[in-house]
Chains A and B, each alone.
Chain A
């Protein structure tokens, strides 16, 4: 597709200059959407600047992450889809922390809430792209609330790559829960070592 490669090329050109400059801050450029217009013999491909809507000032501008800035630290849940949908891609995955600006603990909390919202069926239009002609083997049944420890099999299968999908299917035949519990603990221990000590969000405590 022409549009995404152009966007990628544009981004690369933008940051190529940055690497040379060293510590200089990036120039403020707006997000553009690529529009292709064909009039007779002429095809015009232009990047139109997306005008951001007027955003009201957050109640706590000195916060380090969006959650602190809007005083939502312990105030949201998996049902607050309007908030959660601002941090997800169109196929349901989380946006990177460096783009959204969330601190680590809030990013993880939002990730867990997003997973629970997916499981509860509250984000029906953010499904992963499946190949055409794919027939789902499992019947569509309503589900609710899933806690972090027990990642449901269907969610895991949707978001893993093909290789891991095959491995996960093989694991399905073997006793599943013991294996998954052990691998979850190992993964969490490894992640904890890599992370180091947790750094809390530096925001003034609200009453």
Chain B
């Protein structure tokens, strides 16, 4: 849906126009978006997803219009927390019965259910109203990049990843590695003497 064109067409000086049936149908249609969560922090994924689920990315947004879209998130198993959060972040729950307070680390929760972290993050970012459950029903999470056929047919657009994933050393081609110059050479260490290092016996000059 080209929201920019719609906004430009309805300028404030023109007469109030009623949308034609196909135009109305196209404006209020529900779209399906795909998002790859590989090497992404779950918070940033949730921020982008919550906006789409609510419908806040549309100029025709209203809380009562039920204009949210579907979002399909793949590779939730491969999300990346920054810092020590895998060990430090604690997810708490209470079953309602005495002695039913449970606290698990992010690692333990992720091992048990690879989609739980992303699901909880998005649930807590949505507005705390009755529409939240409906929006969560329009969220589809998959731990790997295997998607059912019927959902795959509905997908319209892939959203860009919120975090730029850095390139690993083994992902560089040999040409790129050769093109990068060696910044220092082993012997001429600033005209200084090389002292004896008996322990280093497998010193390798890496490119």
Contact = CB atoms under 8 A, between A and B. Distances in A.
A159 interface: no
Contacts, number: 143
Contact of A98 (B86, B181, B183, B192): B192
A86 B182 CA distance: 7
Interface in A189-204: none
Interface stretch (A40-48, A63-71, A160-168): A63-71
Given A142-B79, A146-B83, A96 B197 contact: yes
A141 B107 contact: yes
B78 interface: yes
Q: How large is the interface on B (under 10, 10 to 19, 20 to 34, 35 or more residues)?
A: 35 or more
A85 B110 CA distance: 32
A26 B81 CA distance: 50
Most chain B C-beta atoms within 10 Å of own C-beta, residue among A70, A82, A125: A82
Most chain B C-beta atoms within 10 Å of own C-beta, residue among A12, A31, A81, A85: A81
A31 B186 contact: yes
Contacts of B188: 101
B80 interface: yes
Interface in B131-188: 166-170, 172, 176-177, 180-188
Contacts of A81: 166-169, 172
Interface string A55-74: 11010000011110110100
B55 to A, nearest CB: 30
Interface of B: 39, 41, 78-84, 86-87, 107, 110-111, 166-170, 172, 176-177, 180-190, 192-198, 200-207
Interface of A: 4-5, 7-8, 11-12, 15, 18, 25-26, 28-31, 52-53, 55-56, 58, 64-67, 69-70, 72, 78-79, 81-83, 85-90, 95-96, 98-102, 120-126, 138-139, 141-147, 150, 152-153
